[in-house]
Structure 1
Amino acid sequence: MDRETICLRRRKNKLYAKYLKTGDHETYARFAILRNRLRKKTRQIRYDHEENLARNMKKYPKAMWRYVNSRLKTRSGIEDLKREDGSMARTSQEKAEEPTRFISTTFTQENLQLIPDLPVRSQGNLVEDVVFSAEDILKKLKTLNPVKSPGPDGIHPRILVECAKQLCRPLTRLFDLSMDNSTLPSDWKKDNVYAIFKKGDQHAATNYRPVSLTCIMCKMMEGIIRDELMDDI
């Protein structure tokens, strides 16, 4: 909100308070003029903001949906979920367990007798051969999407993008230590799983899909390893 709008609002509030105290009709007329000016200005500000969001929707879709959700009059999380026996999962714990139970039923058991034998590669990179360089990590940092959500470590990708030059060398050392010791930071082994409603009946667990948020730095390390292993394929 700009300075002019703030000043208009203050003047309007003062005139209205004065009118309530004195009952003077001239004061109310001045108040009404300022009220109408302020209403016209705030509507124009909202229109310009919505037009800018729509223009940049493909580039910044989260900003658009954040604004849309802020304008909704209703707020609700996951609805009570219906179990197979007809009962309802109502608590947060029960709602988390019901989609998990459904997803576990979609897993398939592979016939191990039908898995083909793959030829042994005579050449190519191995995981032990992967080398992390500050240049490669800097490229990965600069290509991160700054509007994505952070993982369990709480480190937002915008921080990684803005501090790419300062972080590339420390991350190189961190990745090297992780490979040399065959270990990962504890937060990198965790993920935050969210149930996203698709369509249909909101009480059916089958209409929710899980979205897993993992640590961004771990995904960067995995990407570099994948690129190295795929070079000779």
Structure 2
Amino acid sequence: MGDFNYKNIDWSRETTPENLESSTDKFLECVKENYLIQHVQGYTRHRQGNEPSTLDLVLSKDEDTVKKNLRIDAPLGKSDHVTIFYNVEIVIDKDNTTKNKYCFYRGNYESMSLEISNIDSENNMDELNTVDAWAYFVDKIKSSMGRYIPVTKSRRGRRHRKAWMNVETINTLKRKRKTCEIYKRNKTSANWETYRLARNRATSSLRSASIQYKSKIAKEFKTDSKSFWKFIKSRTNTKTGVPDLELESGVIETEDEGKSKELNNFFASVFTKEDLNIIPTPTAVNLQPELLEIQVTTEEVFKKLSKLDASKSPDQMGYILKF
């Protein structure tokens, strides 16, 4: 897809009035020789006083690749080129499964904290060993999160509109598209002026909403740093995380644990393999005094927990700090 700027081609007949040596004719012959299909059948450039033309093209090798619902809509900003919307059919293994997520911002953390504070009174954890006490504590946290934090379903690949898009901005964009359609059906000076005003108003509204949103994030950075870093992440093109790995057997590894093991095996393979039959005897080290007992007080644990940032995301086990 792109602006090829060949206005003298009749794509309904695939012909051009220009001579055989012209770049327009050579481009058309190139499209035919490579068996490409051009899907745009309407005008893509409109300007008052100029004849409309088809400059923006969508080319594909297969007629069914681009779906039949290709749509020509209003231009972006003050451009005289229209926007083109279409769906491309690509055969992929799409995961349509939904995933349950906690709505942490809607949690009832006062009731949750009160319930967790009574854990020791329900069961004397001093009588349990470390493993059993931790398992009991984790079970209580999970059940408490299920009661006091709402759950929502999210679908992978779901599109979201820009965070700074408000109702006023959306309405101005709808007005712009509507006036553009009217002008395309009836190209009069009055309709062009109506569309021009709607286009400028939409552009101004978009810029104003974006600036206000960015200013709000900057002012509230100290109290709401998550919104700031969320905005920074949305403006970057880099992707974090390890993608799915294809093993030597041809199996695709999607789980984090499996990826970690596979990468660990790969990195370990470059190290020199030592002869295990010849192992040097280590020098004896006299460790004095021996560490036979570790003392951990409640005050020390509370001091460490108090320094944690409650606004941070949950850990890998899904436990939050806010309560």
Q: Verify same fold: TM over 0.5.
A: no
TM-score (norm 1): 0.42
Larger radius of gyration: 2
**Larger RCO of the pair (alpha carbons < 8 Å, separation 6+):** 1
Structure with more helix by fraction: 1
